[in-house]
Amino acid sequence: MIALGILLALVLLLVVFGLLFRLQVLTSIFSGSYSREIGLSNRVNAILMLVFMVVGGGAFAYSFVANWDKMNPPIASVHGAHLERMFWTTMLIIGIVFVITQVALFVYSYRYQYREGRRAYFFAHNNKIEIIWTVIPAIVMSGLIFGGWKQWTSITGPAPKDSVVLEVVAKQFNWMVRYPGRDQQLGASNFRMIDATNEMGLDFNDQKNLDDFTASEIHVPKGHPVLLKIRSRDVLHAVYMPHFRVQMYAVPGMPTRFWFTPTKTTDEMRSQTGNPNFNYELACNQICGRGHFAMKLNIIVDEPDDYVAWYAQQKPFVEQNPEVLANLKQNQAGSVEEATAAAPAAIEAKASL
Amino acid sequence: MAATNIPTNAHAQEAPHVQHHATGDHHDEHEHHEGNFLTKYVFSTDHKVIAKQFLISGIFWAFIGATLSTIFRLQLGWPEATLEWLQPILGSWVEGGKLDPAFYLALVTMHGTIMVFFVLTAGLSGTFSNFLIPLQIGARDMASGFLNMLSYWFFFLSSVIMFISLFLETGPASAGWTIYPPLSALPQAIPGSGLGQTMWLVAMALFIVSSLLGSLNYITTIINLRTAGMSMAKLPLTIWSFFLTAILGVLSFPVLFSAALLLIFDRSFGTSFFLSDIYIGGEALNHVGGSPILFQHLFWFLGHPEVYIVIMPAMGIVSEVMATNARKPIFGYRAMIGSLLGISLLSFVVWAHHMFITGMNPFLGSVFMFLTLIIAVPSAVKTFNWLATLWRGNIRFTTAMLFAIGFVSLFISGGLTGIILGNAALDIQMHNTYFVVAHFHLVMGSSAFFGMFAGVYHWFPKMFGRMMDEKLGYVHFWLTITSAYLIFLPMHYVGIAGFPRRYYAWTGFEMFNQFADLNAFISIAAILAFFAQFVFLFNFIYSIFRGRRATENPWRSTTLEWTTPIEPGHGNWPGEIPAVYRWPYDYSKPGSESDFIPQNVPYSQTVSSNLPYEKEME
């Protein structure tokens, strides 16, 4: 009943608009404004151009300032700080161009509106200014390219040798994390070995896997380079960690990598933002299916000591899931103990972080 | 007309003994056949009718595309609200008042596909290339009217298939308009990758056929059928932009076709071009050795020229409309052509800037960053030239002119942020965020739409013999530009904060818990923009039937289409095709009495206004 009423009201409203429109057409025919080629409306539009520029520009500036804090979440990596500086420098340059060109556009529109008896200035080209405004953008762009190129090569360059290495594996719709364990080496994996328990497809024929451990969150030490090795086991995903300015696709069949150095622990960030629940988060940023929007993983940045302590407490995957070794040969099972026995040495190595 | 007369003549020649009056009868029948509704309005070979078919199809698709975006904007603006009232349209996709997350992705995918291909490629280029090329170069029709007709009907068939796919039980294609495999290759990954994706691929294959038939025709026509005196250096900028757009299409669409074909093989015939090492739905698939990144290279080899296929016709239209209504020659005609050429060339070597962080070799990233930022230079030149065209003009704000000015404004706003995104280092953070969404919706979405509106308002009198209502046009323009900015400027803020695109909701993340109010605001502006388009729709339909009658040259323009009768028949000019003597931008020429000199006026008739180098041509 209500829906019908709303529908009726809408129809009536449309009829009213239609009548008003017809009335306006008829009056303009009688008043003769239809036959005058350029009437009052030209002036009104010219003024609206100015109004649009001033009101629109003002509203833009106001909302930009008002939203400044919200659009600048804190940054917590070494290269992130560089990128942030470059981002806002570039924004400043394009902001200046934006203001100059938009003001010119709207002011010219207003200033050179039609006037009876005036004639436009026949000005077809001028080589000098054309060269100037080709060369200046070219120079500015070269500067920006150079800056960007330097950052890009250093960010994508090889990770430092002493980086903490961990593996992030994506699947529909969550993330899995693996650390190399005590031998500091990630074991091999094979997608044909994936099953309900061995979700990352670890190949236990490879001894290096025997001490690898998985985690439900990413732990990384502050102030130390971290190398992410990224895989996907089904469709494309992307590892996206906005606070660290980290993003890299996870591609099935093609492992990728990205390294960064965190600069603030989770605790420091909690006190800086005044939010006791603050957590670094990892999001999926490449469309991957129905649960795309909910692929989240927490990242904890620890003080190096806390990180080493946490690392030492973790139990290898095979120890927690002994059944994965059941169908492997007996002699290999024996080497699990060997690998576990090598533990203290590796912990010491880690302690030197 | 000439072609259809041939059988009659042949018949007469073969049988000279046939009585004269019999031939006459035959001829009458033939004339009657000409007026047949089916051949005149449906299976027409007249470029003007085909243009209108593309335009009306494009408008239809634009409303479908806009409706889809309004639905997902409701979800993004008010993630907690119930959408139960949409159940009559969406059925089980809103089970329990909540939009299905997989269907959300279908909406996003189809919105992109429809807007980019069906509206801004077929609707924009299809309409104006078809309509203006013969009229502005002085030709009776396209080089092949029949292929031109086929071009539309392939598009129509493609449209029907794409439209039907919207109603599939498993939903239409849902892997994003870029249909990256493996998501688009595996029905186990998302239901839309089943029949929906198959129909998408078939529809796009037909679309590419349509586009190629059209483009080859445009190129051939422009090269071969120009009227006497119409050298390439006297072509209006519209024609230059259509010409280069068609070349881009011919060179890049086949690559998309190959990508689609290989994807079909992977999906249906067990090949592994794009698939490798996949475990999904509880089993390890047999595909090894393929590369999903290869698909992205193929896709963006079309995909990037595609954005110029969308924007260049709009640039041409705007140049033409702006010169006419500023009563001033377009500034730097040759520089405008040069920058179009530069953009066309560079558009083929920038595609991998969509792929900086896919795991592609970082060295390639450096190369593509360099090439991408170079393309900003010709775009900047064009912008400065438009500004210089307005400077010291005598501007008449027709609706078309307003949209042309709006185009420049949106093109600047959206184009500048491309400088950020083209920088590989900055793209690490910005890739796939709302910053990207805001950027391309301004620079190739809204501004291409504005170019299209400028074209419709400007050439409506030539298409339908009547004028569109100016007052409604003003309302349409101001509502549209205001809402476009209200949508896309705040979207940059959301993007700078790192909000990912194609997210059904951001509520699961602590870092995306701000901006709920701003997202609602953007949605309100989007709904406003949607309703503003009904003003246009009303104006368009009303004016076709009841609009004020047009005069022969209502905008006092110099180009050849305005020398035809008010409603030109098939063949365009009833008599001889006019010859051309001068460039298309002789507005407000000093010494001339009138403030415009049409292209078909010889120099001998304008002795008082001829420039020194024109004297010899008198």
Per residue in B305-325, pLDDT tens? Answer: 999 999 999 999 999 999 999
User: For a pLDDT cut of 70, what percent of chain A falls above it?
Assistant: 90
Cross-chain residue pair A134–B381, CB shorter than 8 Å? yes
Contacts (Cβ under 8 Å, ≥6 apart) of B420: A87, A90, A91, A94, B426, B430, B435
Cross-chain residue pair B402–A45, CB shorter than 8 Å? yes
Q: SS3 breakdown of chain B: % helix, strand, coil, rounded to 5?
A: 70, 0, 30
* Strand A296-302 relative to strand A218-221, pairing: parallel
Cross-chain residue pair B276–A141, CB shorter than 8 Å? no
> What residues does A176 pair with on adjacent strands?
A169
The nearest CA of chain B is from the CA of A16 a distance in Å of: 14
Rounded CA separation B60/A322 (Å): 62
How confident is the model at residue A35, as a pLDDT?
61
Closest CA to B211 of B246, B179, B184, B180: B246
Same-domain check for residues A148 and A247: no
- Band the pLDDT of B296: cuts 50, 70, 90: very high
Is A10 part of any domain? no
- Band the pLDDT of A298: cuts 50, 70, 90: very high
> Average pLDDT for residues A94-123, to the nearest whole number?
94
- Band the pLDDT of A338: cuts 50, 70, 90: low
How confident is the model at residue B19, as a pLDDT?
39
The alpha carbon of B19 is separated from its chain's Cα centroid by a whole number of angstroms, namely: 53
> Average pLDDT for residues A6-27, to the nearest whole number?
84
Structure tokens, B75: 């979800």
Answer whether A252's CB lies under 8 Å from B182's CB. Answer: yes
- Band the pLDDT of B111: cuts 50, 70, 90: very high
- Dihedral pair phi/psi, residue B360, rounded to 5°: -60, 150
Rounded CA separation A59/A63 (Å): 6
- Band the pLDDT of A323: cuts 50, 70, 90: confident
Domain boundaries, chain B: 41-563
Rounded CA separation A33/A27 (Å): 9
How confident is the model at residue B248, as a pLDDT?
96
A210-258 pLDDT, tens per residue?
A: 999 999 999 999 999 999 999 999 999 999 999 999 999 999 999 999 9
Closest CB to B390 among A67, A108, A119: A108
Single-letter amino acid, residue B14: E
B317-350 pLDDT, tens per residue?
A: 999 999 999 999 999 999 999 999 999 999 999 9
DSSP A160-177: PTT-EEEEEEEETTEEEE
Is A285 part of any domain? yes
**ipTM of the predicted structure?**
0.90
How confident is the model at residue A353, as a pLDDT?
57
Same-domain check for residues A218 and A238: yes
Single-letter amino acid, residue A204: F
* Strand A164-171 relative to strand A174-179, pairing: antiparallel
Cα within 13 Å of Cα(B544), Cβ side: 9
Least confident of A4-18, B18-32, B108-122, B412-426: B18-32
Same-domain check for residues A169 and A238: yes
Looking at chain A from residue 145 to 174, which residues have their Cβ under 8 Å from any Cβ of chain B? 145, 148-149, 151-153, 155-157, 171-172
Question: Which residues of B fall within a CB distance of 8 Å from A137?
Answer: 376-377, 380-381
> How many angstroms separate the Cα of A286 from the Cα of each of B108, B183, B281, B575?
14, 10, 20, 60
Is the pLDDT assigned to residue A346 strictly greater than 80? no
Looking at chain B from residue 227 to 286, which residues have their Cβ under 8 Å from any Cβ of chain A? 275-280, 284
B217-272 pLDDT, tens per residue?
A: 999 999 999 999 999 999 999 999 999 999 999 999 999 999 999 999 999 999 99
Angle between the B362-374 and A127-156 helix axes, to the nearest 10 degrees? 160
Same-domain check for residues A180 and A327: yes
Rounded CA separation B595/B73 (Å): 48
- Dihedral pair phi/psi, residue B405, rounded to 5°: -65, -40
Is A300 part of any domain? yes
> How many angstroms separate the Cα of B378 from the Cα of each of A160, B343, B345, B583?
41, 6, 11, 22
> Average pLDDT for residues A49-71, to the nearest whole number?
95
Is A28 part of any domain? no
Cross-chain residue pair A67–B470, CB shorter than 8 Å? no
Cross-chain residue pair A49–B405, CB shorter than 8 Å? yes
DSSP A66-107: HTTTTT-----BHHHHHHHHHHHHHHHHHHHHHHHHHHHHHH
Closest CB to B183 among A133, A149, A289: A289
A198-219 pLDDT, tens per residue?
A: 999 999 999 999 999 999 999 9
- Band the pLDDT of B34: cuts 50, 70, 90: low
Cross-chain residue pair B432–A238, CB shorter than 8 Å? yes
> What residues does A301 pair with on adjacent strands?
A220
Rounded CA separation A270/A291 (Å): 29
How confident is the model at residue B523, as a pLDDT?
96
> Average pLDDT for residues B104-132, to the nearest whole number?
96
Whole-structure pTM value: 0.92
Answer whether B185's CB lies under 8 Å from B271's CB. Answer: no
Number of domains present in the structure of chain A: 2
- Whether residue B182 is preceded by a cis peptide bond, meaning omega within 30 degrees of 0, is yes
Q: Does A347 touch chain B (CB under 8 A)?
A: no
Contacts (Cβ under 8 Å, ≥6 apart) of A39: A33
Rounded CA separation B205/B211 (Å): 10
Is the pLDDT assigned to residue B13 strictly greater than 80? no
Looking at chain A from residue 265 to 324, which residues have their Cβ under 8 Å from any Cβ of chain B? 277-279, 281, 283-294, 296
How confident is the model at residue B291, as a pLDDT?
95
Answer whether B401's CB lies under 8 Å from A41's CB. Answer: no
Domain that holds residue A88: 39-113+128-157
Closest CB to B358 among A52, A243, A249: A249
Q: Does A19 touch chain B (CB under 8 A)?
A: no
> Average pLDDT for residues B60-66, to the nearest whole number?
96
Is the pLDDT assigned to residue B80 strictly greater than 70? yes
> Average pLDDT for residues B106-135, to the nearest whole number?
96
Q: Say which residue, B3 or A207, is predicted with more confidence.
A: A207
- Band the pLDDT of A280: cuts 50, 70, 90: very high
Q: Looking at the domain B41-563, which fold is it? A: Cytochrome C Oxidase; Chain A (1.20.210)
Place of tokens 């290339």: B129
Is the pLDDT assigned to residue B503 strictly greater than 60? yes
> How many angstroms separate the Cα of B468 from the Cα of each of A45, A52, B556?
17, 24, 16
Whichever domain contains A271, its CATH number is 2.60.40.420
How confident is the model at residue A114, as a pLDDT?
93
- The mean predicted confidence, pLDDT, of chain B is 91
Same-domain check for residues A239 and A280: yes
Rounded CA separation B441/B449 (Å): 10
Is A19 part of any domain? no
Residue in B closest to A280 by C-alpha: B511
> Average pLDDT for residues B58-82, to the nearest whole number?
94
Same-domain check for residues A195 and A343: yes
Residue in B closest to A59 by C-alpha: B486
Closest CA to B436 of B448, B450, B426: B426
A130-182 pLDDT, tens per residue?
A: 999 999 999 999 999 999 999 999 999 999 999 999 999 999 999 999 999 98
Is A231 part of any domain? yes
User: For a pLDDT cut of 70, what percent of chain B falls above it?
Assistant: 94
Single-letter amino acid, residue B163: F
- Judged on CB neighbours under 10 Å (0-12, 13-18, 19+), B124 is buried
The alpha carbon of A26 is separated from its chain's Cα centroid by a whole number of angstroms, namely: 55
> Average pLDDT for residues B569-597, to the nearest whole number?
92
Residue in A closest to B363 by C-alpha: A153
- Dihedral pair phi/psi, residue B269, rounded to 5°: -120, 15
Rounded CA separation B144/B46 (Å): 10
- Among A136, A157, A178, the domain boundary falls at A157
Rounded CA separation B178/B296 (Å): 8
Helix (H, G, I), strand (E, B) or coil at A56: helix
B362-386 pLDDT, tens per residue?
A: 999 999 999 998 999 999 999 999 9
User: For a pLDDT cut of 90, what percent of chain B falls above it?
Assistant: 83
> What residues does B63 pair with on adjacent strands?
none
Is A22 part of any domain? no
